[in-house]
Amino acid sequence: MKIKSKSFILFILISIVFLISAICAKLEAKEYKDKYIRLFQAEWEFLYRMTENIDNYFVSIEDSDITDFSLYANQVCYSYYEKTIANSFNLEVRGFLTEVYDMYFKILSNNIYDYEITKNNLGKMNSEFQAFCKKIINEKPDWILKEKSKKYTDYTNEIKELRNKYEVILNAIVQEGNSNNSN
**φ and ψ at residue 132, rounded to 5 degrees:** -65, -45
| Domain that residue 70 falls in | 36-182
Per-residue pLDDT of the chain (183 residues; tens, 9 = 90+): 455 688 888 888 899 999 999 899 999 988 988 888 888 899 999 999 999 999 998 888 887 778 878 888 889 888 886 666 778 899 999 999 999 999 999 999 888 999 999 999 999 999 999 999 999 999 888 888 888 999 999 999 999 999 999 999 999 999 998 888 776
- Asked, for residue 125, whether it belongs to a domain, the answer is yes
Measure the CA–CA gap between 181 and 79, rounded to whole angstroms.
Answer: 33
The count of domains in the chain is 1
- Asked, for residue 121, whether it belongs to a domain, the answer is yes
- Asked, for residue 55, whether it belongs to a domain, the answer is yes
Report the sign of the C-alpha dihedral through residues 28, 36, 82, 153, in that order: positive
- Asked, for residue 5, whether it belongs to a domain, the answer is no
